[in-house]
């Protein structure tokens, strides 16, 4: 067991919400406008935000272990993501009609 051999090893995980990176563009290489729409529509974190979280995790005192961090934008809940017209999560008016 790692903790008995080297007690200063700490293990943690970070589960980020939407982060504005090139990964979204790479996932949809034929739809570059889609990643712009995603980041314009949904609140997202910046890569610098995640770097700050990692820095905090690594800088914690030796006796502190941050195990499972879920990191999201403060406006990620569905109520906050409703646009001014009351459409939940940016849903377009004609989407229900197409279903």
pLDDT (0 to 100) of residue 52: 96
Strands 19-20 and 45-46, by their bridges, are parallel
Predicted confidence band of residue 5 (pLDDT cuts 50, 70, 90): low
Q: Which residues are CB-neighbours of 91 under 8 A, at least 6 positions away?
A: none
Q: How far apart are CA 65 and CA 68, in angstroms?
A: 9
pLDDT (0 to 100) of residue 9: 81
Predicted confidence band of residue 55 (pLDDT cuts 50, 70, 90): very high
Between 45 and 87, the more confident residue is 45
Q: How far apart are CA 14 and CA 40, in angstroms?
A: 24
pLDDT (0 to 100) of residue 97: 46
Q: What angle do CA 77, 43, 92 make, to 5 degrees?
A: 80
pTM of the model: 0.66
Name the nearest CA neighbour of 77 among 17, 23, 27, 25.
17
| Average pLDDT over all residues of the chain | 79
For residue 14, the cross-strand partners are 69
pLDDT (0 to 100) of residue 10: 84
Ordered by start, the domain boundaries in the chain are 18-82
Q: Please report which helix (H) or strand (E) contains residue 57, including its range.
A: helix 47-58
pLDDT(63) > 50: yes
């Amino acid at each position: 067991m790692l903790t008995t051999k080297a007690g200063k090893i700490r293990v943690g995980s970070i589960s980020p919400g939407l982060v504005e990176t090139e990964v979204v563009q790479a996932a949809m290489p034929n739809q570059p406008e889609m990643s712009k729409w995603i980041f314009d529509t949904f609140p997202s974190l910046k890569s610098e935000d995640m770097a700050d979280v990692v820095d905090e995790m690594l800088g914690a005192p030796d006796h502190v272990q941050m195990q499972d961090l879920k990191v999201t934008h403060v406006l990620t809940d569905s109520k906050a993501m409703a646009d001014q017209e009351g459409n939940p999560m940016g849903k377009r008016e004609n989407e229900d009609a197409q279903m």
